[in-house]
Structure formats: C-alpha cells, structure tokens
Amino acid sequence: MPRYQHFEELPAWQVAAQLYNAALDLLEVDGLPLSSGYRTQLDRAALSVSNNIAEGFERVTTGELLAFLAIARGSASEVRSMMAVVRSRPRLRHQRGALDHIAELAASCLRQLTAWIASIEQGPIQGKRHLTREQSQQRSSQKVAGDLRLAFLRSLSPEHPLFHTPEAVAARGIQREGGEDR
C-alpha cells in the first residue's frame, strides 16, 4: 500500500485527494472483512471531502463556499470516525497502519478546513467573493507603491547608502555565494 509523504504541507484539496486514494487502496485489499455498506459509505465519504472542497471553491458567494467547506469537514470527520470504529477489530490488525494513515489524512483535512473556514469568516470578503471597490483600490495603490519602491531600489548606484541594504540586494535579485551582492 503506497504511503503519501508530507501531506501536512499540501493544500486541503490535495490532502483530500490523497485521503480518497488511501481509502481506495484499503477497499481494494482482497478479503477485507468489511460489510458492503461500510465499504460504500467509506468510498462516498472519502470522495465527498475533495468534491465538496472543489465545488465550494467554484461557487460565487462566500456563504456557498462556507457551506461546501462545512460539508467537506463533516465528511472528513465521518471518515475519521469510520476508521476509529473498525480499528480495534482483530481481523483488521494487519490493516491498522492503513487505517491510522487514513485517519491522519482525515484529521489533516479537518484541521485545514477548520482554519480555512475561520479565515473566511474573519476576512473582508462577504457576499459575492470579490473585493469591494475600496478594497480593490487599496490593493492597487499598495501594488503601485511596492512596484515603485522596487524600481527605486533596483536603480540605486553602488555609491548610494542604501545600495548594500538587504532590501536593495533582494530587489536586485543578484547575490554571490556568501551573501554578497555583485
């Protein structure tokens, strides 16, 4: 059974895809002593996580996104519960590693989805998922100011007192080994 490495570093949808694949790997084991109802429910719940993240992301309003993320979160919780329910069965002792891995992936999805939902709920974008005119103008002004600052830092002559500052060196994007700029 393949192990998926570094899943904590991946975005929620990719971890959810790994969750589904790990569930499929388990369900494809020959002679696995699980009822057809359990198998069907695990298959549906594991796939529901990635599908609801994807569907919510494509929706127009923040409320719709939040609703689909909540469904995805519930499905991840369901998968985690399903692993806990069967983990202690003696006939599944050879699959405990797989069961634990699936539970870890589901828990990672839960953590990420919980954080994502909180971030959206506390964020400036409500209703349709776009910035207000004021927020858009503020971002635009900040980008122009940042671009002007970078252009200024890149144009400094080597004699200028700011030429060797870390910010100017980074703006030029040119460094030698040892951290000195050219």
pLDDT in tens, 71-94: 999 999 999 999 999 999 999 999
Does pLDDT of 155 surpass 90?
Answer: yes
Chain segment 8-48, per-residue pLDDT in tens:
678 899 999 999 999 999 999 999 999 999 999 999 999 99
Residue holding tokens 């699980």?
A: 34
Each residue of 96-127: pLDDT tens digit?
Answer: 999 999 999 999 999 999 999 999 888 776 66
pLDDT at 134: 77
Q: Is pLDDT at 1 greater than 90 in this prediction?
A: no
pLDDT at 87: 94
Distances (CA, A) of 42 to 20, 46, 82, 102, 161: 9, 6, 7, 11, 64
Residue 109, class by beta-carbon neighbours within 10 Å (0-12 exposed, 13-18 middle, 19+ buried)?
buried
How far is the C-alpha of 157 from the C-alpha of 24, rounded, in Å?
61
Q: Where are the domains of the chain?
A: 7-122, 133-179
Confidence bin at 131 (pLDDT 50/70/90): low
Please name the CATH architecture into which domain 7-122 falls: Up-down Bundle (1.20)
**Average of pLDDT values for 52-65?**
90
Q: pTM for the full model?
A: 0.66
Strand partners, 61: 128
